[in-house]
Amino acid sequence: MENKPGALARVVGLFHQRGYNIDSLHVDPITDFSPYSFIEKELSITFKADEISRLTIETTVSDSLMRQILRQINKLIEVLAVSNEKSTYLKGVLRDENLLR
**Residue-wise pLDDT tens digits, 14-23:** 889 988 899 9
Asked: is 7-93 a CATH 3.30.70.260 domain? The reply is yes
Per-residue pLDDT, 64: 85
Per-residue pLDDT, 93: 64
Per-residue pLDDT, 89: 77
Q: Which residues of 22-59 are buried (b: 16+ CB within 10 A; e: fewer)?
A: eeeeeeeebeeeeeeeebeeeeeeebeeeebbebebee
Q: Where are the domains of the chain?
A: 7-93
Per-residue pLDDT tens digits for 36-75: 888 888 888 898 888 999 999 999 888 888 888 888 888 8
